[in-house]
Amino acid sequence: MANKGSINMEIGNDGVAVINMINPPVNALTLTAIEELKRFYQEAIDCDNVKAIVLSGANGRFCGGLDISVMENVHKHGDISLLPDASIGLVVNKIENGKKPSVAAIQGFALGGGLELAMGCSARIAMPKCDLGLPELKLGVIPGCGGTQRLPRLVGTSKAVDMLMSSKTITSEEGKELGLIDAIVSSEELLIVARCWALDIVEGRQPNCNSLEKTDKLGPKDESLEILKSARQRYTVPRYIACLDVIEEGIVAGGYAGVLKEDKVFKELVLSNTAKGLLHAFLSERATTKVPSVTDIGLKPRRIENVAVVGGGLMGSGIATALIISNISVVLKEINHEYLSKALKSVEANLQGFVTRGKLNQDKMKRTLSLLKGTLDYEDLKDVDMVIEAVNENVSLKQSIFEDIEKVCTSECIFASNTSTISLDVIGKRTSSQDRILGIHLFSPAHLMPLVEVVRTETTSPQVIVDVIKFTKILKKVPIVVKNCTGFAVNRSFFPYMQGPDLLANLGVDIFRIDRVITEFGMRLGPFQLQDLTGYGIFLAGVEEFVAAYPDRAFQSPLVQLMVENGREGKKNGKGYYTYNKGSKPEADHSVLQIVEESMRLTNIAPAGKPISVTDEEILEMIFFPVVNEACRVIEEGIVVRASDIDIASVHGFKFPSETGGVMFWADTIGCEYIYSKLKGWYEAYGDFFKPSTFLEQKAAKGLPLVRILEDRVDLTTDTIIESNAEAAGTRSC
C-alpha cells in the first residue's frame, strides 16, 4: 500500500489499483489531495502490474468536492493562481485519458467536484440512496472540473440543466435510470463489483466510456439549444446565464472546448462579489450553532419529541405545521371550540399547500395530520417536552400562560415564547422556572421561513439552549442564539428599516420611488408595500415598542395613523399605498400622496418645507446605513455571538439579498469609514435617527471591518455539519 496523507493506493493481485480518498468528514479535495491524486494516477498508469483503477472514498463517503478553504484563500488574496489544475490536469489528462480505465465506487455522496471526478471515470458503481449533485451555483460559481459538459452527456441536456440550475441532488437510483450510474450494489459488494467492472472494461466486456465524447444523450443540437433558450428566460441571474452559455459552448463546439470555457468562466466568477458574499453566508450559517460556554462544554442535547403550542392564530398554526411536518407530535391549545377548530383547519390548509407544491402526497399529509391533537385543557400538556407560547403580543396574557403551564408541566419541560419584541424576563416574571425559559422566535409564515432566534436570558441554562439548537435543526431551521432585549437581533437591527422610509417620505422623497429602489437592490418588497401586506396595526405596535425602548433615536410620524384614519388598511381592505384587486398585481395609488403631504406638514422636518433632492444611491444608503448602525449596537452589546450572525439574520429573517453575504458583509464592501461619514452628515442635517453608534465610529477611526471573518468563523467540526449526507458534503466543499 502506498500512502501520501489524504490519499492512499493499494494494488491488488487482480491488477486493480484502488485509490482511496481520506479527508474526514467529507473527503474534500484540498490542494494537497488533488496533487496526490495526480501522482497516484500517474504511478498507476506507469506501473506494469496495474491493469485498471478504482477510485473510492473512505468512511462511507465518496467525495464532497473542492475544499471550501481553497476558495476562501483565493478570495483573501484575490489570486486565481491559487486554484488547483484539477479540470485538465487531473480529470481530463489522468482519469479520463490516462490509458487505463477508472471506475468510481460511490458510497454516501458524490457532490460538486466529487461528482465531477466520478463522471470523468469510465463507469460509476454506487450504493443505494447515494446523493449526487452539482451545487456550485449556490456558492456563486459554476462547476469547475467539467461538470457542465459531462452531466448533459450522461443524463441529457434537459435534466442536466434542471440539476445545475436548482443545485438539487438526485439519488443513485434516479442516477441509474438517467444513465449517470451504471450499477447499484450493496456496500459489501461495492469494491468487488467496481474491480470486476474495471477488469471487464480492460477485457472488452464493458465499454470504455469517455463521457466528454458522448453525444447520444444530447440528442439533436437544435433541441438542446432550444432547451437552453427556454432556460435563459427562466434563469436571468448572470451566473446562471454564464453556466448556460458554457453548456452551449460544449454542445456547439464539442466537450473539450466546453471544458476550456468552463475553466475560464469559473475563474472569472470565483473572484466576483457574488461568490464572496454567498460563500460568506454559507459558512456563517454553519457557524451559528457554535456558542461559547454553551455548545463547547460537553452537553448532549435531550430529545424533544412532544411539543405543545399555546395559541392557534397565524403564528401558532404555522409553528404547529412546522413541527408536525418534522414528525414531532403536537398538542395545540386554544381557549374555545371556535378558535380551536379554526386553528386546526389552518394547519390542514398549510399542509395542503405543501401538497399543491408537490412537497407532500395525500397519504403523507394524513400521517402528518395524525401527529396533531387539539385541546382546550392545560392538563393535556402535562407530558410534553416543551411548550411554545404563540399568542398576541400582550404582556399579561403571556405571563398568565407561563403561570398556568408551570402548574401542570414536568420540572424538565422547556417553556418557550414566540414573542418578537417583549422581553423574556418580563414574560417569565411570575414563574419560578427561570432556568428553562427562553424565546423561540420564528418568522411568519413559520412553516416556510427558515430563521429561528433562540433567545436566552441571563438565567436560561446552557442545557436548554443546547436542546433547542438541536431541536431547530430537526425542524430544518437556521438558529441564531441571541441575548434578551427588545426586538432581539433581527427586528431590532431592522427597526430603522421600519422608520427610515417613513422619514424619507416626510422629507418629500416619493414613496413609490423608494419602493422601486429597494426592490431593484434585491429586496422582495419595498418598505411601503411591505407595510400594506403585514398590516398597519402590526407596524404601529412595533414602532410603539421600539420608541419605548430606544427613544433617543426613534423617528415618529403620523403617516401610518393618517392612512388608517383615511380608511386605508393595506391589502386587508384592498386600499393602502397600493390598490389590491384579486387576480391583478398591486398598483401604486397616487391619491395617497395627499396623505403623505399632510404628514409632511405635521412633522415639518423637510428643509424650508421643500422636498429634498436625493439620488437612488442615497435613498438606498439612507435606508440601510441606519440598519447597519443599529446592528453595530447589537454587536457591541453582545446580543449576538458574532457579527456574522447578523448577516444570517438579515438574509433568512429579513430577506436581505443573499448574494451580498448579509447586511454587515455588504457594509464592509462599502467601508465603515464611508458609512460613518454619511450617517454623521445626515445626523447633523436631520437629527438623532442617523446618529452614528460608538462601535461604528471606533471601527471607522481604525479602518477596521465590521465582520471579523477570521475571528468570527469557528471550526466546523464533524458533529455540527454531518446531519445528512447531502448537507454534510456541501458544508465543507463545493
Establish whether 116 is a catalytic residue.
Answer: yes
Q: Amino acid identity of 180?
A: L
What angle in degrees, to the nearest 10, is found between the helix axes of 273-287 and 68-77? 130
Do the Cβ atoms of 61 and 27 come closer than 8 Å? yes
Closest Cα to residue 67, out of 98, 21, 19, 122?
Answer: 21
Residue for grid cell 500500500 = 1
Residue 316: how many CB atoms within 10 A of its CB?
A: 25
| Residue 176, SS3 per DSSP | helix
| Residue 66, SS3 per DSSP | strand
Closest Cα to residue 64, out of 721, 659, 715, 658?
Answer: 721
Do the Cβ atoms of 92 and 120 come closer than 8 Å? yes
Cα gap 195→186, rounded to integer Å: 14
Catalytic residue among 136, 334, 621, 630: 136
Exposed/middle/buried for residue 611 (C-beta within 10 Å: 0-12, 13-18, 19+) = middle
Q: How many angstroms separate the Cα of 494 from the Cα of each of 472, 499, 627, 700?
A: 23, 9, 5, 21
Strands (E), 311-377: 329-333, 372-375
Q: What is the DSSP letter of 557?
A: -
Cα gap 687→681, rounded to integer Å: 10
Q: Residue 196 — φ and ψ, nearest 5°?
A: -65, -40
**Cα-only R_g, the chain:** 28
DSSP string, 90-139: IIIIIIISSSS-EEEEE-SEEETHHHHHHHHSSEEEE-TT-EEE--GGGG
Closest Cα to residue 304, out of 471, 473, 440?
Answer: 471
Catalytic residue among 35, 36, 96, 116: 116
Cα gap 142→157, rounded to integer Å: 16
Cα gap 465→480, rounded to integer Å: 11
Residue 584: how many CB atoms within 10 A of its CB?
A: 8
Q: What is the DSSP letter of 420?
A: S
Closest Cα to residue 25, out of 713, 671, 718?
Answer: 718
Phi-psi region of 611 (alpha: psi -120 to 50; beta: other; left: phi over 0): beta
> Can you give the three-state secondary structure of 631-686, one letter per residue?
HHHHHHCCCECCHHHHHHHHHHHCCCCHHHCCHHHHHHHHCHHHHHHHHHHHHHHH
Cell matching residue 671: 467601508
Q: What is the DSSP letter of 89?
A: I
Establish whether 136 is a catalytic residue.
Answer: yes
Q: Mind telling me the catalytic residues?
A: 116, 136
